[in-house]
């Protein structure tokens, strides 16, 4: 779904033929408004600029799409509370066989260790609580900053 009015957005892409100072071949940064209608486009932009060609297998691309959509949704809804005066910052890097996507919001953060696992039989019919669980199972590594308003996801090419 595309937003009826194109949302405001800042996108910077830096692509190199040889690794840059941080080892990155591709660096993408995006400043996204706190509007869930942007998520699909942002996921598409990231995939297009980071995973062009056959670099990642189909399943990895799928997993990255879902994990990125989740992280954006959490940043926009749980983090920034859909406050349009706040932004979500996305940084993505392709380094060697890894792709790293970092999503940072302007909210208070949270304690990811306190989030329960959502797959107990009694919880199966709860409508939420599956986002972080999905992310952790779809990418190879997930880290948060101390405050909890920034998540960094790493996926390795296989």
One residue of 38, 42, 90, 131 binding ligand ADP per CB under 6 A: 131
Contact 98, 154 (CB under 8 A): yes
What is the nearest approach in angstroms of a copy of itself to the Cβ of residue 123? 40
Tell me which stretch binds ligand ADP (CB under 6 A): 4-12, 28-36, 83-91, 127-135: 127-135
User: CA-based Rg of the chain, rounded to a whole angstrom?
Assistant: 16
Taking CA atoms, 156 is separated from 34, 91, 121, 138, in Å, by 29, 17, 31, 11
* DSSP for residue 106: S
Q: Does 115 bind ligand ADP (CB under 6 A)?
A: yes
Interface residue with ligand ADP, options 34, 68, 74, 88 (CB under 6 A)? 74
Please report how close the Cβ of residue 132 comes to another protein at its closest, in angstroms: 9
According to the binding rule CB under 8 A, does residue 10 interact with a copy of itself? yes
Least spacing, CB of residue 148 vs ligand ADP, in Å: 6
CA distance 90 to 48: 15
CA-based angle 84:86:92, to the nearest 5? 115
CA 153, CA 155: separation in Å to the nearest integer? 7
- Which of 89, 80, 79 has the alpha carbon at shortest distance from 31? 89
Residue 65: name its binding partner from ligand ADP, another protein, a copy of itself, none (Cβ under 5 to 8 Å by kind): another protein
Residues lying near ligand ADP in the complex (CB under 6 A):
74-75, 78-79, 105, 107, 109-110, 115, 128-133, 149
Footprint on this chain of a copy of itself (rule: CB under 8 A): 2, 5-17, 26, 49, 52-53
């Amino acid at each position: 779904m595309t937003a009826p009015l194109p949302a405001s957005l800042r996108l910077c892409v830096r692509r190199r033929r040889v690794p840059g100072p941080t080892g990155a071949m591709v660096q993408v940064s995006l400043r996204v408004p706190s509007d869930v209608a942007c998520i699909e486009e942002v996921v598409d932009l990231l995939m297009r600029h980071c995973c062009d060609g056959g670099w990642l297998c189909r399943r990895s691309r799928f997993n990255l799409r879902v994990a990125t959509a989740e992280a954006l949704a959490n940043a926009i809804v749980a983090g920034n509370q859909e406050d349009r005066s706040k932004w979500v910052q996305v940084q993505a890097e392709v380094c060697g066989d890894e792709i790293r996507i970092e999503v940072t919001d302007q909210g208070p953060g949270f304690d990811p260790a306190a989030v329960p696992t959502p797959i107990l039989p009694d919880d199966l019919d709860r409508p939420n609580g599956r986002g972080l669980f999905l992310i952790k199972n779809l990418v190879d590594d997930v880290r948060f900053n101390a405050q909890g308003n920034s998540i960094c996801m790493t996926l390795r090419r296989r």
